Amino acid sequence: MSISIHQVSKTFGAYTALDKVSLEVPSGELTALLGPSGSGKTTLLRIVAGLENADPDGRGRILFDGAPVTESPVNRRRVGFVFQHYALFRHMTVFENIAFGLRVKPRAERPSRNEIRERVCELLKLVQLEQLAQRYPSQLSGGQRQRIALARALAIQPRVLLLDEPFGALDAQVRAELRRWLRHLHDTIHVTSIFVTHDQEEALEVADRIVVMNRGRIEQTGTPDEVFQNPASEFVMKFLGDVNVFHGRVHNERPVFTGDSSEDGNVRLLVRPHDLAVLPYPGPGISIPARVYRVMTAGALVKIELLDSQNRLVQVQVPHETHRAAPVRAGQQVYLTPKESRLYGQSNERLEYVI
């Protein structure tokens, strides 16, 4: 089931939540809507579900497999929706929560009692919680509740599965476990899915494709590798992981970065922490002086915090073997050389110079 979104806008009074958004979601794909709070992610998801209406300007359209559903009520779209806070019925057992969507179908469409039981048992097995069928939501962990919420959404055999920050209420370890489980679940059922998140790591790990949103518009769409390795804008690069920003100027057709306050001017160099080399002496090309503030060796990478000449924090990540071969210590004067970087001008345009 493909999803087509054409020129969808949504305003709340004077606030524009969505500004002529268009997007194609191929059949069977798991797509992440990624962006900061207020970027329009959840509003777009609710419009796809039919829980919100787009502005009635006549241009906005939602299509499932090429058929318009813009005017269809939510109960006619066959959409499964999973909320951040589960929204399970507290007075119902796990079994009855999952069966609810099947039991409230119109009589002509409602499965038999045996068919409902078989379907619920299949889903309990799919989410690996068969033993909890007779428990109540209050007797489950947060991760278990979210799995039951997913099973309930899948019970009606939706054409589309929509998830609004499904792991936002969970702690970090449970989130990591559940996002791996969600990816495995999607590979099993292949239902077209869109999930909303502001967690970059979650989107990069789980999604087939990422849609980066900002201020009601789409900044970039692409695979996780495309948006991370080739960000379309300064916003995308800053939002997708940690980034160091160095301010400088263009002199004789070359960007210059010495850390002087006078150079907080017309160009910005953006470098991810793992793309900075730490040298005891100036290297070829750009060499930015800095002083080591702290070295943290616990973890998969050595994390080095430095201060530039204006006492602005710079973060560097290096492999342990690199640090062992050329260790640095707090207080040491060093020079930073970018291995990979992006250069932007005053109007946020990408610049191309020899660095």
Cα–Cα distance measured from residue 11 to residue 57, given in angstroms and rounded to the nearest whole number: 11
Average pLDDT for the chain: 91
Q: How confident is the model at residue 351 (pLDDT cuts 50, 70, 90)?
A: confident
Both tokens of 81, joined, read 């929706």
DSSP string, 164-194: ESTTTTS-HHHHHHHHHHHHHHHHHH--EEE
Please, what is the angle between helix 94-103 and helix 142-155, to 10°? 20
- Please check the confidence at residue 255 and state whether its pLDDT lies above 80: no
d(CA 313, CA 302): 16
Which distant-in-sequence residues (6+ apart) come within 8 Å of 208 by Cβ? Answer: 29, 30, 31, 223
**What does the block give as tokens for 24?**
């194609």
Q: How high is the pLDDT of residue 250?
A: 78
Cα–Cα distances in angstroms (integers) from residue 224 to residues 34, 140, 146, 338, in the given order: 11, 33, 25, 23
Query: For the chain, what percent of residues have pLDDT higher than 90?
Result: 73
The Cα angle at residue 165 between residues 162 and 169, in degrees rounded to 5? 135
Would you say 19 and 9 are in contact if contact means Cβ atoms under 8 Å apart? yes
pLDDT over 70, % of the chain: 95
Q: Which contiguous run of DSSP H or E holds residue 344? A: strand 342-345
How confident is the model at residue 249, as a pLDDT? Answer: 81
Task: Quick: pLDDT tens for 154-209.
Answer: 999 999 999 999 888 788 888 888 888 899 999 999 999 999 999 999 999 999 99
pLDDT at residue 256, as a whole number: 78
The helix/strand/coil state of 204 is: helix
pLDDT at 280: 93
Average pLDDT over residues 91-110: 93
How many angstroms separate the CA atoms of 314 and 352, rounded? 23
- Token look-up 């309990």 returns 124
How far apart CA 282 and CA 333 sit, in angstroms, is 11
Nearest to 222 by CA among 203, 233, 208, 239: 208
Q: Which of 207, 135, 143 is nearest to 173 (CA)?
A: 143
H or E stretch covering 305? strand 302-308
Please list, in sequence order, all residues whose beta carbon lies within 8 angstroms of the beta carbon of residue 154, skipping any fewer than 6 positions away: 80, 123, 126, 161, 189, 191
Q: How far is residue 292's CA from residue 305's CA, in Å, rounded to a whole number? A: 6
Domains of the chain, start order: 3-231 (3.40.50.300), 244-351 (2.40.50.140)
> Does residue 76 or residue 209 have the better pLDDT?
209
Q: Is residue 349 scored above 80 in pLDDT?
A: no
